Amino acid sequence: MMKVLIACEYSGTVRDSFIAMGHDVMSCDLLPTDKPGPHYQGNVFDIINDRWDLMIAHPPCTYLSVSGMHWTTRGLRNPQLTEDALEFVKQLMNAPIKRIAIENPISVISSRIRKPDQIIQPYMFGHDASKKTCLWLKNLPKLQPTSMVEPITINGKYRWGNQTKSGQNKLGPSADRWKIRSETYQGIASAMAKQWN
């Protein structure tokens, strides 16, 4: 049994996948958990030194993702927000925990800190969906795909169930769109719990 910290997670998806494998697990986020379970609501650095065997961290991508950097480059957002977000990622990467995975979409972490060890997609883990997800790994193996889902072809281009014909995400604007899009796909969470034990 491992002691596992799931940092920056309020959904409980990854936490509950590790609990199902018999581990001692806690999620942590500034937000309350969406599902009942062991959760610390607060700053992850309050508990980072509590002798964890494994940490999987999902730092907020708002000021890191390449798709949102146009706000900064056009002068519509303070560049210091990205610097602060990068410093947070560095602190997570340097935490005193033997095994660490940092998860984020395509982001400036790749150019400002280091390239990811692996890029995965939900369709590699049983979901009819596309969402490039980078993993920065410390003392962990790369995740092995568990169930490939084939895309459909529209006008000669591959598309998955979560995409429009033009390749955009189907989720329309809403107050909780960010929350829905940030949740880890269950197939990926299960693969983490089974392969990183």
Out of 57-71, 89-103, 170-184, the most confident range is: 89-103
Residue 159 identity (one-letter amino acid): R
Predicted confidence at residue 34, as pLDDT, reads 95
Q: How far apart are CA 130 and CA 87, in angstroms?
A: 28
H helix intervals, the chain: 13-20, 70-73, 80-93, 109-112, 177-182, 186-195
Predicted confidence at residue 177, as pLDDT, reads 47
Domains of the chain, start order? 3-195 (3.40.50.150)
CA–CA–CA angle 128, 134, 137 (5° rounding): 125
Note the pLDDT tens digit of each residue in 120-133: 999 999 999 989 99
Find out whether 113 and 93 touch, Cβ atoms under 8 Å. Answer: yes
Q: What is the pTM assigned to this prediction?
A: 0.89
Q: Is the pLDDT of residue 180 over 60?
A: no
Q: Is the pLDDT of residue 9 over 90?
A: yes
